[in-house]
Amino acid sequence: MKTFTASKAIQRLPDQYFSTLEKSILSLKNQGYDVINLAQGSPDQPTPKHIIQSLQTAAEEPLYHTYSPFQGFRFLKEAATKYYKDHFNVDLDPDEEVCVLFGGKGGLVEVSQCLLDEGDVALVPDPGYPDYWSGVALANAKMEMMPLRAEHQFLPQYEEISKEVKAKAKLLFLNYPNNPTGAVAHRSFFEKTVDFASDNDICVVHDFAYGALSFDGKQHESFLQVPGAKETGIEVYTLSKTYNMAGWRVGFAVGNPSVIKMLNTIQDHLYVSLFGAVQRAAADALTKSQKHVDDLINMYERRRDLLMEKAGDIGWHGKTPQGSFFAWFPCPEGYDSDTFASKLLNEAHVAVAPGRGFGEHGEGYIRLGLVNEEKRIEEALDRVAKLNVFK
C-alpha cells in the first residue's frame, strides 16, 4: 500500500505523550486487572438531567435540523454574556465579543493560527496543557516556555523573560485554576499580566476551563474582571467541566473584539457551527439553576480532602489544590515522573499522569485526578501505601 507524505504542518505536531499511557492502561484492563485511573482529566459524573431534557426537546425542533448560523445562534452568545455578568460582573457584547467554540480545546488551538506567523513567539506555561503546543506548531511559530515553580505559587515570572523574547512574542497562554498543578491566580497577578501584555503588545489567552471549580468557599476571578484585560486578550471557557458536558464539545471565547473576529473567521472556513439543539441545551445550562454546580464543587472538595488526608497518612505530601480537579504531587526520592508512574501502574494498578508530559518543569511531579468516587480514591492510596516508597 502506498504511503503518502504528511505535510510539514502535520509533521511539526508534537507527539501525543499520554497516548502511550492510555495504551498501557487498556492493556492491563484487557488482561483482567482492576486499574484505578487517576490519570484521566474527564468528569466522571453525568450531565445534569435538565440539560439532557433541554437537548431532547430541542432535537425535535425542525429549526435545528438545518445548518446552524455559521457563527452560532445569538441566544447562546447572549447566554454567555449573561453568565459572565451574573458570575463575574463583566459586560460583554454578544455580537462582537463572544465566539462559539467546538469545545475550549478547539479555540485554544485555533487562536495560534489567528495571531502567529512563522518565526513569531508564543509564551507558554511549563508545565501546561499540551494542546497549546499543537496550535503553535501548526502556525509554524516558536514557543518560549515560562517555568511554573512551587516557590512562586506556580505563577510565571514575567521579569525572567528576556527583551529579545518579549520583542518577538505575540501570544501569551495562561490557565488558572491550573492544569496540572491545581494552582490559582488572584487579581494582583492578572493586573500584572495586563500591564506586561500592554507594554509588549502581546495578546493574552486565558484558559478558564476550571473557572467554576473553586474550593473553601472562594470564587475564582475571571481575567476579564481586571481593568484593561479586554483590551489585551480573551478568555476561553468550556462547559465540559462546569456541567459535565465533555462529550458535547461546546465552549466559547470572550473578550477582545479583534481576536473574536479572527476566531469566527477561521471557524467560518472549518465548520458550520454546532448542532442547534446542543446550543439550546448549552444556553439553558448557563442561564438556569446552578445548584448542580454547587453540588459538583462540594463533591470535588470532599474528594480533594480525602486524597490529601490519605496521601499525608502514607508520607506523600503535595500542595492542596485550591481549584480544578487535579492535585500535583512530588515523586518520591529516587524516581522521575515516568519511572514512578510506571511503578504505580504496573505494581499497584493505579494510573497517574507523569509530570514530564506537561513540560520540562513538570518533571519530578505526577498529576492525580479527582474524577473517581471517594472509595476508589481511598483504595488507590491504600495500594500506593503497600509499595513502601515514602519514608
Q: What's the rounded Cα separation, in Å, for the pair 178 and 208?
A: 9
295: left (phi over 0), alpha (psi -120 to 50) or beta: alpha
pLDDT at 21: 82
Are 277 and 297 part of one and the same domain?
no
**Is 163 among the domain residues?**
yes
Nearest-CA neighbor of 327 among 375, 377, 373? 377
Q: What's the rounded Cα separation, in Å, for the pair 33 and 348?
A: 10
pLDDT at 173: 98
Are 83 and 123 part of one and the same domain?
yes
> Amino acid identity of 160?
E
Q: What's the rounded Cα separation, in Å, for the pair 376 and 362?
A: 25
pLDDT at 272: 87
Are 309 and 269 part of one and the same domain?
no
pLDDT at 40: 86
Q: How many CB atoms are closer than 10 A to CB 361? A: 20
Are 213 and 108 part of one and the same domain?
yes
Are 282 and 363 part of one and the same domain?
no
pLDDT at 181: 95
Grid cell 488551538 is found at: 109
Are 87 and 40 part of one and the same domain?
no
State the residue range of the domain holding 380. 8-47+291-385
Are 119 and 92 part of one and the same domain?
yes
* CB-facing half-sphere around the CA of 224: CA atoms within 13 A: 27
pLDDT at 218: 86
3-class secondary-structure state, position 183: coil
What would the grid cell of residue 197 be? Answer: 501584555
Grid cell 502581546 is found at: 202
353 close to 341: Cβ distance less than 8 angstroms: yes
Which of 287, 321, 338 is where one domain is finished?
A: 287
Q: What's the rounded Cα separation, in Å, for the pair 81 and 97?
A: 9
**Is 53 among the domain residues?**
no
**Is 391 among the domain residues?**
no
- What are φ and ψ of residue 103, in 5° steps? 80, 155
**Is 54 among the domain residues?**
no
Which of 252, 287, 322 is where one domain is finished?
A: 287
Q: What is the DSSP string of 13-64?
A: SPP-HHHHHHHHHHHHHHTT---EE-S--S--SPPPHHHHHHHHHHHT-GGG
- What are φ and ψ of residue 260, in 5° steps? -60, -40
CATH number at residue 257: 3.40.640.10
Grid cell 502567529 is found at: 116
3-class secondary-structure state, position 125: strand
pLDDT at 249: 95
Number of domains in the chain: 2
For 171-223, the pLDDT digits (tens) are 999 999 999 999 999 999 999 999 999 999 999 999 999 999 999 888 899 99
**Is 59 among the domain residues?**
no
212 close to 297: Cβ distance less than 8 angstroms: yes
Are 168 and 247 part of one and the same domain?
yes
**Is 152 among the domain residues?**
yes
pLDDT at 213: 94
Which of 249, 268, 287 is where one domain is finished?
A: 287
Q: What's the rounded Cα separation, in Å, for the pair 262 and 135?
A: 15
- State which residues of the chain have pLDDT below 50: none
State the Cα angle at 115 between 112 and 119, rounded to 5°: 80
pLDDT at 46: 95
3-class secondary-structure state, position 335: coil
Are 19 and 74 part of one and the same domain?
no
What would the grid cell of residue 59 be? Answer: 432535537
According to DSSP, the β-strands at 353-354 and 365-369 are antiparallel
225 close to 90: Cβ distance less than 8 angstroms: yes
CATH number at residue 40: 3.90.1150.10
**Is 178 among the domain residues?**
yes
Are 254 and 380 part of one and the same domain?
no
Percent of the chain's residues with pLDDT above 90: 90
Are 214 and 330 part of one and the same domain?
no
Nearest-CA neighbor of 39 among 57, 69, 19? 19
Are 259 and 328 part of one and the same domain?
no
**Is 52 among the domain residues?**
no
